[in-house]
């Protein structure tokens, strides 16, 4: 069933752009699985927010969380390197990928229902408290629990296909063997004390080596939204994830030259 779910997700994303009029390009996704009873879900109440949910809050009898990372194409990522504001391509990718995740989760839900399993869909974004800016279901932290990757200095999840993309998750009562988490750090700063380019890329100083001001970060996200007023909500930036050793790969898996 694990490989069936992976194939279902990969084929859906591969065929999506042929059925929808989209401008965004995506690379092959990574799909992993977390045990709904993993003790780390309770730890998120300390790591993320006291109000962070556990899987059973959404679905009684939850067994598994299907977590996936959809990488942006190289052209989308490279479009966002120059300037202090998010590129139009990056902003559009944010909107179109959130829509893709919504449609994909509906598709997974339908397939699981056909096998008499239940699932619960959580929106890809904007499920956070507007004052604390903390989420009650952090897709990135859930992906960490599922073994999709490790957090970088930029607070992004670095996967084997980098950190430029979007993460989605769906909760189900179908039991699937959990993915093992790696013990290795993927971030070059965390693993070898090198790089720090994400900090240098931060356009308004919200990201520092030893701290992160999420409210200051949110200010630039809203500025970018005002820049793209003809689009749907685009509270994005992404400067701390582009033009980095971890943009497209897990750099710790390679020798630093």
pLDDT in tens, the chain (257 residues): 999 999 999 999 999 988 889 999 999 999 999 999 999 999 999 999 898 999 999 999 999 999 999 999 999 999 999 999 999 999 999 999 999 999 999 999 999 999 999 999 987 654 555 565 567 899 999 999 999 999 999 999 999 999 999 999 999 999 999 999 999 999 999 999 999 999 999 999 999 999 999 999 999 999 999 999 999 999 999 999 999 999 999 998 874 43
With respect to residue 101, please indicate whether it lies within any of the assigned structural domains.
Answer: yes
With respect to residue 160, please indicate whether it lies within any of the assigned structural domains.
Answer: yes
With respect to residue 255, please indicate whether it lies within any of the assigned structural domains.
Answer: no
pLDDT at 129: 56
- State the total domains in the chain: 1
pLDDT at 253: 85
With respect to residue 256, please indicate whether it lies within any of the assigned structural domains.
Answer: no
Dist. CA 75–CA 248, nearest whole Å: 12
With respect to residue 44, please indicate whether it lies within any of the assigned structural domains.
Answer: yes
With respect to residue 26, please indicate whether it lies within any of the assigned structural domains.
Answer: yes
pLDDT at 49: 87
With respect to residue 257, please indicate whether it lies within any of the assigned structural domains.
Answer: no
* Structural domain containing residue 198: 2-250
Q: Classify 74 in phi/psi space as left (phi over 0), alpha (psi -120 to 50) or beta.
A: alpha
pLDDT at 133: 57
């Amino acid at each position: 069933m694990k490989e069936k779910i992976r194939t279902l997700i990969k084929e859906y994303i591969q065929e999506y752009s042929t059925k929808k009029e989209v401008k965004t390009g995506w690379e092959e996704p990574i799909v992993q699985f977390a045990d709904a009873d993993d003790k780390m879900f309770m730890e998120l109440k300390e790591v993320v927010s006291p109000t962070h949910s556990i899987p059973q809050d959404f679905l009684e009898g939850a067994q598994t969380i299907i977590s996936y990372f959809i990488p942006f194409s190289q052209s989308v990522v490279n479009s966002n390197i120059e300037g202090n504001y998010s590129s139009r391509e990056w902003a559009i990718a944010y909107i179109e990928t959130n829509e893709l995740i919504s449609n994909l989760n509906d598709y997974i839900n339908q397939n699981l229902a056909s096998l008499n399993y239940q699932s619960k869909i959580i929106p890809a974004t904007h499920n956070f408290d507007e004052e604390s800016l903390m989420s009650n279901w952090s897709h990135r932290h859930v992906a960490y629990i599922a073994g999709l990757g490790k957090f970088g200095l930029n607070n992004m999840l670095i996967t084997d296909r980098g950190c430029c993309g979007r993460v989605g998750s769906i909760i189900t009562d179908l039991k699937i063997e959990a993915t093992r988490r790696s013990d290795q750090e993927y971030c070059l700063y965390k693993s070898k004390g090198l790089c720090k380019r994400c900090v240098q890329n931060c356009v308004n100083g919200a990201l520092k080596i030893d701290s992160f001001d999420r409210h200051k970060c949110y200010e630039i996200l809203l500025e970018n939204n005002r820049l793209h007023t003809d689009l749907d909500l685009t509270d994005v930036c992404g400067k701390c994830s582009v033009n980095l050793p971890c943009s497209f790969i897990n750099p710790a898996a390679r020798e630093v030259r």
